[in-house]
């Protein structure tokens, strides 16, 4: 039997209802913050991610789906979309457009990770990027947007973690210091840390192995090694967040797994998610445009929400989120009633109400089915009802039953 490829999955009803609901709330919220949608291709030249996300990151070095196209070029299924959005920004000279470019996207990403709860090889992101300014006010606005998004979809149990990873001036100095400290302690750490101490010392801070935690505590903190402009920027971001009433926690050891970050970085975690508890991550990437070959600077900041994890958190906080609201089940009794009911269904649907038009069946069977699929009301229509022009309407929540004329039907179910 052919099954879905490992690490991929089908999103079925009723869960797909929650996905749609989350996406429609999201699109509406983006509109109110004046963000517009961008759709970039799923496939890109491999070099885009190698240069943008970084050759030494886990994503690029071991998780990408890369293949050689028939003309010999190297193509990759996008593992994330920030690099793609920046490519589009440069390619279409969006820097010439007035004001900031505020763009959002919703779509699938691909990473060949070890699948587990909340981690898939095809997963979905809802992301946004604001390109064209270094201002800390932009950082605060994008964080405000994403926090509001989580609230609007109904989440309460989440925390915002904030950090600054410095810039091309102060970070290399901090990394050198970290590397030096690690020379002494890394041999007592896990195998991954020993390797990272050489290749990418920042990633050591991200190690989850319990035995390594006391050692990590002793390592220097980037917060103590920011240069003056980065310190000022970070303090300004904090001030803007406080002004907007957004609670956060500074996490000096939070490092993000992509190389383009500069200054502000953030993550939001949700208690109900287990080991893969980051619902979203984001940050500033002021040097990304230049690393993709742009002559013009294009400082930006953005986030990507793991939509799979977002939906999981919503389902966990609201177990009733699935209840697809079917307004009316119309139950025809007899062949003539089937024809009559089809026209009734047209009326109710044009009034914007959802209708499941049943097939001719015994009253008992129709009732059972209507109950199982969660209809709010059932309308019974047989020969007598058609002759009288009055139908039996049952409220499935209260159990009450009444006879209604055609013109009363829609007001009754509303
Ligand atoms: P990221 O931290 O790699 O950042 O991914 C963002 C979010 O995507 C994660 O917090 C997680 O919720 C979700 N995610 C990542 N990998 C998986 C997976 N294998 N399965 C399920 N969910 C996953 C980025 O992608 C950056 N582009 C964020 C950004 C935008 N930075 C600036 N702008």
Q: Is the pLDDT of residue 43 over 90?
A: yes
pLDDT at site 321 = 81
Query: For residue range 223-246, what is the model confidence (pLDDT) as tens digits?
Result: 999 999 999 999 999 999 999 999
Residue 199 clears pLDDT 90, i.e. is over it:
no
353-375 pLDDT tens trace: 999 999 999 999 999 999 999 99
Structure tokens at 262: 């500069």
Q: What is the pLDDT of residue 323?
A: 72
Shortest-distance atom of ligand 1 to CA 282 = 31
Judge if the beta carbon of residue 340 lies within 6 A of ligand 1: no
**What pLDDT does residue 276 have?**
80
Q: How confident is the model at residue 350 (pLDDT cuts 50, 70, 90)?
A: very high
> Is the minimum distance from the CB of 300 to ligand 1 under 6 angstroms?
no
DSSP H helical ranges for 136-262: 136-152, 171-185, 191-199, 213-218, 228-243
Distances (CA, A) of 63 to 78, 181, 205: 11, 30, 21
Name the residue of 306, 307, 309, 313 to mutate for ligand 1: max ligand atoms within 8 A of Cβ: 306
Q: Which atom of ligand 1 is nearest to the CA of 256?
A: 2
Atom 25 of ligand 1, residue of closest alpha carbon: 80
For a ligand 1 pocket test, name from 281, 284, 300 the mutation site with the most ligand atoms within 8 angstroms of its C-beta. 281
Laid out side by side, the sheet with 43-45 consists of 43-45, 74-77, 66-68
Range from 53-57, 164-168, 218-222, 333-337 carrying the lowest mean pLDDT: 53-57
State how far the Cα of 67 lies from the Cα of 223, in Å rounded to an integer. Answer: 41
pLDDT in tens, 156-171: 999 999 999 999 999 9
Q: What angle do CA 409, 411, 413 make, to 5 degrees?
A: 70
Which uninterrupted H or E stretch holds 371? helix 363-372
Per-residue pLDDT of 278-305, as tens digits, reads: 999 999 999 999 999 999 999 999 999 9
Mean pLDDT of all residues in 25-32: 98
CB of 7 closer than 6 angstroms to any ligand 1 atom? no
CA atoms of 155 and 406, how far apart (whole Å): 41
Whether residue 129 has its Cβ less than 6 Å from ligand 1: yes
- The answer, yes or no, to whether any atom of ligand 1 lies below 6 A from the CB of 123, is yes
- Give me the pLDDT at residue 200, please: 86
CA-based Rg of the chain, rounded to a whole angstrom?
A: 27
Q: What domains, with CATH codes, occur in the chain?
A: 15-170+226-317 (3.30.930.10), 326-413 (3.40.50.800)
Position 56 confidence tier, pLDDT thresholds 50, 70, 90: confident
Residue 306 Cβ contacting ligand 1 at under 6 Å: yes
What percent of the chain lies above the pLDDT cut of 90? 92
Average pLDDT over the chain, rounded to whole? 95
pLDDT of residue 403: 96
Residues 6+ positions from 376 with CB-CB distance below 8 Å: 325, 326, 327, 328, 395, 396, 397, 413
> Which atom, in ligand 1's list, is nearest to the CA of 302?
33
Residue with CA closest to ligand 1 atom 1: 281
CB-ligand 1 contact for 263 (6 Å cutoff): no
Burial of 8 (0-12, 13-18, 19+ CB in 10 A): middle
What pLDDT, on the 0 to 100 scale, is given for residue 119?
Answer: 96
Q: Which of 108, 116, 125, 160 has most ligand 1 atoms within 8 Å of CB, for mutation?
A: 125
- Tokens 């040097």 appear where? 287
Q: What is the pTM of this model?
A: 0.93
């Amino acid at each position: 039997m052919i099954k879905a490829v490992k690490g991929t999955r089908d999103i079925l009803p009723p869960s797909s209802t929650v996905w749609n609901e989350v996406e429609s709330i999201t699109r509406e919220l983006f509109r109110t913050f004046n963000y517009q949608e961008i759709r970039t291709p799923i496939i890109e030249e491999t070099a885009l991610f190698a240069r943008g996300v970084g050759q030494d990151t886990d994503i690029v070095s071991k998780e990408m789906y890369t293949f050689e196209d028939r003309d010999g070029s190297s193509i990759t299924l996008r593992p994330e979309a920030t690099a793609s959005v920046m490519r589009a920004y440069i390619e279409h000279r969006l820097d010439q457009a007035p004001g900031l470019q505020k763009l959002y996207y919703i779509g699938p990403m691909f990473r060949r990770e070890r699948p587990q709860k909340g981690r898939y090889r095809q997963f979905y992101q809802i992301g946004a990027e604001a390109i064209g300014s270094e201002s800390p006010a932009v950082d605060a606005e994008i964080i405000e947007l994403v926090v509001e998004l989580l609230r609007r979809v109904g989440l309460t149990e989440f925390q915002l973690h904030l950090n600054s990873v410095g810039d091309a001036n102060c970070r290399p100095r901090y990394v050198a210091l970290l590397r030096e400290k690690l020379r002494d302690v890394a041999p007592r750490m896990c195998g991954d840390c020993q390797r990272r101490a050489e290749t990418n010392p920042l990633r050591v801070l991200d190690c989850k192995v319990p035995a390594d935690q006391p050692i990590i505590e002793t390592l220097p903190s980037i917060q103590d090694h920011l240069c003056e402009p980065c310190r000022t920027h970070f303090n300004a971001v904090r001030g803007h967040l406080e002004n907007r009433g957004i609670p956060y926690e500074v996490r000096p050891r939070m490092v993000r797994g992509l190389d383009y970050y500069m200054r502000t970085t953030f993550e939001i975690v949700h208690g109900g998610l287990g080991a893969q508890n980051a619902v979203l991550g984001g940050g500033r990437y002021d040097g990304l445009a230049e690393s993709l070959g742009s002559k013009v600077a294009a400082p930006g900041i953005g986030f990507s929400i793991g939509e799979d994890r977002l939906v999981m958190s919503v389902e966990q906080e609201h177990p009733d989120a699935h209840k697809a609201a079917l307004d009316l089940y119309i139950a025809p009794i007899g062949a003539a009633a089937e024809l009559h009911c089809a026209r009734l269904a047209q009326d109710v649907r044009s009034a914007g109400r959802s209708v499941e038009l049943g097939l001719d069946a015994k009253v008992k069977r129709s009732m059972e089915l209507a109950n199982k699929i969660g209809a709010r009301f059932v309308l019974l229509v047989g020969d007598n009802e058609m002759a009288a022009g009055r139908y039996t309407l049952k409220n499935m929540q209260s159990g009450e039953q009444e006879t209604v004329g055609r013109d009363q039907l829609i007001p009754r179910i509303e």
